[in-house]
Amino acid sequence: PTAIHLADYRPPNYLIDEVHLSFRLDPGATRVISRIRFRANPEGLDDGNLILDGEKLRLVEARIDGSPLTALDYLLTDTHLTVPAARLPGDSFVWEAEVEIAPRDNTALEGLYMSNGMYCTQSEAEGFRKITFYPDRPDVMAPFTVRIESELPVLLSNGNQTSQGPGFAEWHDPWPKPAYLFALVAGDLRPVSDRFTTMDGKEVALNIWVRPGDEDRCGYAMDALKRSMTWEENVYRRAYDLDIFNIVAVDDFNMGAMENKGLNIFNSKYVLASPETATDRDFDFIERIIAHEYFHNWTGNRITCRDWFQLCLKEGLTVFRDQQFTEDMRSAPVKRIEDVLQLRTRQFREDAGPLAHNVRPDSYIEINNFYTATVYEKGAELIRMLRLLVGVEAYDQALQLYFDRHDGQACTIEDWLAVFEDVTARDLSQFKRWYTQAGTPHVTVREHFEDGTYRLTLRQTVPPTPDQPLKEPAVIPVAFGLLSPAGIETHPTRIIELVDPETTIVIDGLAERPVPSLLRGFSAPVILDHAPSFEDRALLLAHDTDPFNRWEAGRSLARETLLAMLADGTAPAPAFLDGLARLAADETLDADFRALALALPSEDDIAQGAVDAGLVPDPTAIHATRKTLKETIGRHLKPTLDALYEAMDPGPVYSPDAGQSGKRALRNAALGLTAHLDAGERALAHYEAADNMTDQLAGFGCLLDIGDPDIATRFHDQWRDDRLVMDKWFLLQIAHAAPEKAVALAETLTGHPLFDWKNPNRFRSLVSGLTVGNPAGFHDPSGAGYAFLADWLIRLDRLNPQTAARMSTAFETWKRYDADRQALIAAELTRIAGTDGLSPDLSEMIARIRA
Ligand code: DPP
Ligand code: ZN
């Protein structure tokens, strides 16, 4: 497989006026009959050839304008069917083809496949070419008419239903769309239905389709959908545009969910929830992903991407919009902290390693490998910065201009930036570097105070990344304020725009040396190289008006404490522990904020912190040190934590809302920090009294940590028939295992009758239980964890390359570690790379990781 480059983009030779598809469903031999009206594109190449993508299709027959084609009329390869211009009747013609496919044998879960007896599709990014011959590229948009023939009771596709009878249904989607938004579902499904009236007075039927028995777990998703629709109308003034909006829950799904026009398909874990089976975090994800896919209707579907290099155009913007939605639905500061935690954990990690790439990549081999934290999460940060730089009003105007100007088009990042330039008359060419340069910028801080004058010097650098040794300065908005040494804010938030490599701000007339609060709200996705004194950070932790920076100050104290413990066993400073105790008990703060402040950095964060401090991280020592600090905090804060445990009881009627889930989070944090002090007595009582999964899992985790011999079996016996809960059972046991036992446990569990490794959720639960959940176990000095992962990647790759490739990112940090571990990982990477018949997906990932 060869790389595809953005610079090589050419418009398609032919555009499409309309598409008719007819499916005769059969597990082993589905017939797909297509009828496509093509029209020459004036901007196409001179050669005029008709190039159709097609993979794993058996061509039964093809016609152009009714005349059957013979094998002499076209060129057929494993990936394309080309009809030379000479064989085409002119500038416009009708292509018809009948192909046969076998959804039953489709284990890659791209194209048309089967899951528990139902048919479903995944077309993004390039799955449609496994359904029929088609110009499978997002800049070819067309209205679709679809007929489905099957004895199954529910037959769904995009758009509005136009007719239905025994054994068939017909659908028409009037909105031109690229093939990646095509969807089809057929199965024995039950609807949970509701209605929504749009701001234009349009009545929309809402349905969530699930397997029989799951109907009572759709309420929250439906509620989240209606709130998303209302919110988008209020905030972006955009309404839904079809008579019907369908969501289907599928058990076997590679991603979280998919925004197919009018027919969203969801991984069932992001739809189905009841208090007994889903945690607060699950409810939060459902709300967020329902909103995300719904918001794609405008940012993605009505306005789509010209090519896959522009993926961030729809994903970054849609993630930003779903973040805004959650900020409005829940606590905005808490949401911001959670998003930044994710960004640092996943995106900074990616940006610092061999897989670093631009938010808009320049090239790829397999586009599925670029659905990354960089495209999504960093992509969203760029929109957030843009909004901060131009202001809320200009942002709103630019968005309206974007919707009006580009509705129905396939666009680029240039189009996106142009609406901002047109609205604000501001030149964004320097800002654009955020899209074209990989790597996380560092901002180094120098302070100087003399004679009442404070000088703050900020210097930006971007480290080299693969293929990009030199970087230009970007535009970095730094939100900052000043506090007096007494903790009073003397200078409220203002934004400094860094455009040069170095910028100095001078503030006169100060009575005392100020304490700066920098990068408030995490105003740019950068690493701040700044080492304020312990006292300054303690002051910010106690007094900053910016909640993000209050949390950040505490976080950096925790990180420093851990690094000092690791380096030479320095005990945690009493002032740090006291500060934490005061914060935990501070009733002026929200419970969920306090829960976040009590959470220690993850082992992976500490490892990255060690690297940033010039050390080689030792995962075993990090695990032990973090455990020690946790126990120290538990002992030191015991009276406070005990009081919180009693006070934070959210009451008898469960609700997943922010208020209650915050209380549960703080209460469970208190439990987690103290569980070892009474040999698990309270954790067991908590587990047994739990009437919801959040509390039950909190108790379960503590009991696993303590090594309760029966708890895994008890949990299993209670939940063995619930697939989503059993995913948690696999994951948590491995994540909470003692590091030296984690790989053996993971291996044992692969032999469990419920370990269906072909189901992506189950596979991910077990394998990432080790690679993400138990870093010290994964990095066991024996190398057993690496061998385990490599074995399973090789095995899964034959069936499901996309998920195998995704899971290989567990190796992306390998250069952080000592020579022995590096050698062990290198050997596994070599073994994978040398496997016969490796997919392009996994081989691209392994090649990039090794490079
Ligand atoms: N389904 C994925 C998402 O919504 C890809 N579009 O982000
Ligand atoms: Zn998306």
DSSP one-letter string for 386-411: HHHHH-HHHHHHHHHHHHHHHTT-EE
Q: Which atom of ligand 1 is nearest to the CA of 315?
A: 7
Whether the per-residue pLDDT at 709 is higher than 90: the answer is yes
Peptide bond between residue 125 and the one before it cis (omega within 30 degrees of 0): yes
Ligand 1 centroid to 500 CA: how many Å? Answer: 36
CB atoms within 10 A of CB 226: 16
Ligand 2 centroid to 315 CA: how many Å? Answer: 5
In angstroms, the CA 364 to CA 778 distance is 29
pLDDT > 70: what percent of the chain?
A: 100
Tell me how far CA of residue 750 lies from CA of 701, 730, 747, 785, in angstroms: 20, 9, 5, 14
Helix, strand, coil shares of the chain, percent, nearest 5, are 45, 20, 30
Helix (H, G, I), strand (E, B) or coil at 82: strand
- Residue 46 is predicted with a pLDDT of 79
Whether the per-residue pLDDT at 1 is higher than 90: the answer is no
Contact 676, 638 (CB under 8 A): no
In angstroms, the CA 21 to CA 27 distance is 18
- Residue 45 is predicted with a pLDDT of 83
> What does the CA dihedral 37, 43, 44, 45 come to, rounded to 10 degrees?
150
Kindly state if the Cβ of 339 falls inside 6 Å of ligand 1.
no
Residues annotated as catalytic (active site), given as ranges: 293
Ligand 1 centroid to 322 CA: how many Å? Answer: 12
Nearest CA to ligand 1 atom 3: 258
- What would the mean pLDDT of 583-599 be, rounded to a whole number? 96
- Residue 26 is predicted with a pLDDT of 98
- 4-283 adopts what CATH topology? Immunoglobulin-like (2.60.40)
Kindly state if the Cβ of 126 falls inside 6 Å of ligand 1.
no
Ligand 2 centroid to 308 CA: how many Å? Answer: 13
Give residue 386's pLDDT band: very low, low, confident or very high (50, 70, 90): very high
State which of 258, 289, 310 you would mutate to test the pocket of ligand 1, scoring each by most atoms of that ligand within 8 A of its C-beta.
258
State which of 266, 290, 293 you would mutate to test the pocket of ligand 1, scoring each by most atoms of that ligand within 8 A of its C-beta.
293
Kindly state if the Cβ of 62 falls inside 6 Å of ligand 1.
no
In angstroms, the CA 514 to CA 450 distance is 11
Contact 739, 626 (CB under 8 A): no
Output the average pLDDT for the chain: 97
Kindly state if the Cβ of 258 falls inside 6 Å of ligand 1.
yes
CA 160 and chain centroid, separation = 30
pLDDT (tens digit per residue) in 184-233? 999 999 999 999 999 999 999 999 999 999 999 999 999 999 999 999 99
Contact 799, 107 (CB under 8 A): yes
In angstroms, the CA 613 to CA 622 distance is 14
Beta bridge partners, 448, equal: 455
Helix (H, G, I), strand (E, B) or coil at 693: helix
Q: Which atom of ligand 1 is nearest to the CA of 289?
A: 4
Ligand nearest to the CA of 260: 1
4-283 and 442-530: identical CATH topology: yes
- Residue 244 is predicted with a pLDDT of 98
Nearest CA to ligand 1 atom 7: 315
The matching CATH number, chosen from 2.102.10.10, 1.10.3720.10, 1.25.50.10, 3.40.50.620, for 712-851 is 1.25.50.10
Neighbours of ion ligand 2 (CB under 5 A): 315, 318
| The residue type at 841 | D
Kindly state if the Cβ of 780 falls inside 6 Å of ligand 1.
no
Predicted TM-score of the model (pTM): 0.98
Nearest CA to ligand 1 atom 5: 258
Kindly state if the Cβ of 377 falls inside 6 Å of ligand 1.
no
Ligand nearest to the CA of 290: 1
Beta bridge partners, 559, equal: none
Kindly state if the Cβ of 793 falls inside 6 Å of ligand 1.
no
Could you say which DSSP state residue 468 is in? Answer: B
434 closest CA partner among 388, 470, 475: 475
- Residue 196 is predicted with a pLDDT of 99
Token output for 777 = 């176990």
Q: Which atom of ligand 1 is nearest to the CA of 296?
A: 4
- Residue 443 is predicted with a pLDDT of 98
pLDDT > 90: what percent of the chain?
A: 99
State which of 259, 263, 313 you would mutate to test the pocket of ligand 1, scoring each by most atoms of that ligand within 8 A of its C-beta.
259
144 closest CA partner among 114, 109, 184: 184
Helix (H, G, I), strand (E, B) or coil at 484: coil
* Helix (H), strand (E) at residue 776: helix 775-778
- What would the mean pLDDT of 681-685 be, rounded to a whole number? 98
Could you say which DSSP state residue 134 is in? Answer: B
CB atoms within 10 A of CB 828: 22
Token output for 524 = 């740019």
Q: What is the CATH number of domain 442-530?
A: 2.60.40.1840
DSSP calls for 284-305:
HHHHHHHHHHHHTTTBTTTBEE
Contact 412, 496 (CB under 8 A): no
> What does the CA dihedral 483, 488, 490, 494 come to, rounded to 10 degrees?
60
Ligand 2 centroid to 473 CA: how many Å? Answer: 29
Beta strand 203-210 with 244-250 is parallel
| The residue type at 403 | F
Which residues fall within 8 angstroms of residue 128, CB to CB, at 6 or more apart? 53, 111, 134, 136, 179, 180, 182
Ligand nearest to the CA of 315: 2
Ligand 2 centroid to 296 CA: how many Å? Answer: 7
CA-based torsion, 493, 497, 498, 502: positive or negative:
negative
Give residue 506's pLDDT band: very low, low, confident or very high (50, 70, 90): very high
Beta strand 111-115 with 154-157 is unpaired
- 304-436 adopts what CATH topology? Neutral Protease; domain 2 (1.10.390)
- What would the mean pLDDT of 814-837 be, rounded to a whole number? 98
Tell me how far CA of residue 143 lies from CA of 20, 95, 99, 265, in angstroms: 9, 15, 21, 20
Tell me how far CA of residue 100 lies from CA of 26, 75, 129, in angstroms: 10, 18, 13
State which of 296, 369, 802, 806 you would mutate to test the pocket of ligand 1, scoring each by most atoms of that ligand within 8 A of its C-beta.
296
Ligand 2 centroid to 294 CA: how many Å? Answer: 9
Contact 263, 246 (CB under 8 A): yes
| ipTM for this prediction | 0.98
Longest dimension (CA), the chain: 90
Kindly state if the Cβ of 255 falls inside 6 Å of ligand 1.
yes
Give residue 718's pLDDT band: very low, low, confident or very high (50, 70, 90): very high
- Residue 208 is predicted with a pLDDT of 99
Could you say which DSSP state residue 571 is in? Answer: P
Residue 406: HSE in the Cβ half-sphere, 13 Å Cα cutoff: 29
Ligand 1 centroid to 309 CA: how many Å? Answer: 15
> What does the CA dihedral 9, 14, 17, 19 come to, rounded to 10 degrees?
-90
Q: Which atom of ligand 1 is nearest to the CA of 292?
A: 4
Residue-range domain boundaries for the chain: 4-283, 304-436, 442-530, 712-851
Kindly state if the Cβ of 290 falls inside 6 Å of ligand 1.
no
Nearest CA to ligand 1 atom 1: 258
Q: Which atom of ligand 1 is nearest to the CA of 257?
A: 1
| The residue type at 427 | D
Q: Which atom of ligand 1 is nearest to the CA of 293?
A: 4
Ligand 1 centroid to 343 CA: how many Å? Answer: 17
375 closest CA partner among 355, 359, 352: 359
Q: Which atom of ligand 1 is nearest to the CA of 300?
A: 6
- Summary count for the chain: helices (H), strands (E): 29, 31
Kindly state if the Cβ of 257 falls inside 6 Å of ligand 1.
yes
Give residue 315's pLDDT band: very low, low, confident or very high (50, 70, 90): very high
531 closest CA partner among 542, 516, 546: 516
- What would the mean pLDDT of 175-184 be, rounded to a whole number? 99
Contact 742, 780 (CB under 8 A): yes
- Residue 812 is predicted with a pLDDT of 98
Ligand 2 centroid to 318 CA: how many Å? Answer: 6
Which residues fall within 8 angstroms of residue 167, CB to CB, at 6 or more apart? 149, 150, 151
